[in-house]
Chain A
C-alpha cells in the first residue's frame, strides 16, 4: 500500500517534469541554433536565472552527502555553504564580465571563450575534453544519488537499476529538446518542492523526535560536542586549514564551472546577474537543513555505516511520515538530481558541439549542425555515464575525486587570462598541465589533504607560478588583435535598447 502511494506520486511528478521541460520551448520552433538551445537565447530575466542557478547548485549531494557528512563528521560539511556564499559574491563581478565577453563575440561556453582569448581553436577542443572527463563523474553521482532515493522512497518497489535508468530517461527526455530553457522551467518545480519540503522538515523533525529545537540542540551540544567544531567527529583529518583552503579554492572554481557559466550566459542583462548575485546566497540557508537533520539522525537511527549514512535524512523521512509525503519529498530529491544532471549534460553537449565537432570542416560556421551534434553528444554522454554506472561504477567514483580540484586548474587560464593580456598561451597551457598533473599525483596517492591543505589548492599554487614563469620567460606568440577584442571587461550600466535609430 505504502509502496503504491509513494511510487504513484513519484511517477506522476516524473511525467510532469518531462512535460514541463518540453512545454518550455513551445512556439519557439527549431530556430536559433546552438545559442537558443545552449544558453536560452541569452534572454532569461533575473527571476529565471535565480531559479536556474539555485537549481543547479542544490544537487543530490545536498540531500544525501550533506546529511551523510553531517551524520559521520559534523562541522567539515559546512565548507559547502562557505564556498557557495563566497563564490556567489564574486559572481557579482565575474558573471557580468563573462556574460558581455560571450555576447560580444558570440560564445556559448568556457571552451570557446578560451579558444577566442588565445586565438587557438585546438585549445578549446583540449579544454572541452578535459572538462568532460571532470563532469562525467558528476552525471554518475546524480544517477546513483537518484537511484538510492527512488528505491528508498518507493519502499523498494523500484529497484536500483530501474531507478538509474529512470534518472537518465527523464533527464534526457527534456534536455535534448529544450536545452537550458527547459532546465530552467523544471527548476521552477524543483525549487518550489525543495523549499517547501526542506522548510517543513526543518520544523517537523525536531518537533517529532525531540519536542522542538531547544531540546534537540541542547542534546547535541551536551552529548556530541566533537561533531560541532573542526576536525569534526571520527578522525576525518579535515581541519580548519582544510576548510579554509577548500572553500577558497572552490569559490574561485564555482564561478568558472561550466554549468555556472551556462547560467551566466543565459541572462538577458548584466544587471540581472548583479541582482542575482545579491539574491542567490539566500538559498544557501537551506543547506543547513540537511546538515542539521543528518546530525539529528545520529540520535534517531544510530549505527549507519559506509554508504548507508548517506540515507540518514531519508531514514527519518520514511520512519516518521505517511507514504504520500515520503513520495513528495522523494520527488524533491529526485529533481535535485535531474536538474543539475540536465545542465551537466547540456554543457558537455555544448562544449563538444562548438569546440570539438564545431571545428571540423562540415560543422564550422553552421550553428544548426552544431546543435544537432551537441544533442547527439548529450545522449551519448548520459548513456556513457549510465553504462559505466551499471558496469564499472568504481571508475567514475575514482575520477570524481579529481573533478572539482581538476576543474580548479582552469582558473588561471580563464579568469586571469581574460583580464591580463601578458598571460601567454604557453604560460596558461604549462600552468594547466603542471597543476593538473599535481592534482592527479596527490589525489591518487591519497595525499589529499596534503599537510592539512586541499591538494587542489597546492596544485593551483604551482599552476600559477608555472603560468607566470613561462609567460615571462617563455615564447611569446604573435597576436595582432587589440586588447578590446581579446580581454573581458565589465559591461558597465545596462544600455537601454532603442529601436528605430541608426
Chain B
C-alpha cells in the first residue's frame, strides 16, 4: 500500500503547523510556561506527529516529508523529555555560602590529593635547589625570569622603590586574574586524561613555589617572602588547588571505580559540582588578582606585619568558610 501523499499532507499539516507554533513559542522565550491545556495539547500533537512519521516511513517513504517530520518529532521529543533540573533559579548568595563550600567538602579527598601533590612538588623543588643551586635557572620559566635574580638584591632594590598604586596596576591585576583562571581551568580539564596531567601541573607549580621559597628563605628573606606572597597566595593557591580538586574528580570519573554507570552517566553526576568549584575558584582568583596587584607589590618593611597579618587572617577566614559555611544544623530530636 502506498499512501496518498497529497491528501495525507493536506489533512495532517494543520496539526504539524500547530505543533511547530507551540514549539516556537517555547524556543523564543525560555521562560514561557505552558498552561495545563497547552501541555496536554502539545503531548497529543507530538503523539499524532509521531504516528504520522511512522505512516510516512511505512507507506510512502518520501524523504523530504519524512525528514521534516523527524525534525519536528525530534524537536517536540526534546521539549517533552527535557531535564527539569535545569530550571532551578540561580541564587548567588546561597550558591556562594552554601553550594560552593558544601561541594568543596563533598570532594575533600580530591582536594587533599591536589594540595598534597602541590606540596610534594614544593618539597622536590626545595630539595633540588638545596642539592644544586645552579638548577634554579633551569626550573624558572622565561616569563618569571626576574626570579633568577638573587633575592637579597631584589629585596634591597624593591624596598627602596616608591610604590605607585595606579601606574600599570590595573593591567597587571587583569593579567594575573586571566592567567591564573586559565591555569586553574586547565588544571581541571586535563583531568580528563585520567588525571596524569593534573598531577603534573600541580607538581610543576609546586616545584616552582618550592624553589622560590627555598631561595628566599636560605638568603634570609623569609619575612619579605611571606609579606609578598601571603596576602594573595592565601587565596590564589587554594583556588588552584580547587582546580586540581576538580581535575581529580574528572579523573575519578574517567576511571569509573566502584560504579557500573557508563561514562555519560558518570559525567552527568559531576557536571554541577565541577561548575560550582570552577565558579568559586574564579571568584577567588579575581580577588587574589586585585590583592596581588594593589597590595602584595607594596614592599615597605614597615608595612610587612600588616600584610602578613592580613594574609594570615584571610587564610584563616577561607579555611573557616570552606569548613563550616553552609553546614546544615543538626535537627533536634523531640
**Chains A and B come from one and the same complex:** no
- Give residues in A with beta carbon < 8 Å to B: none
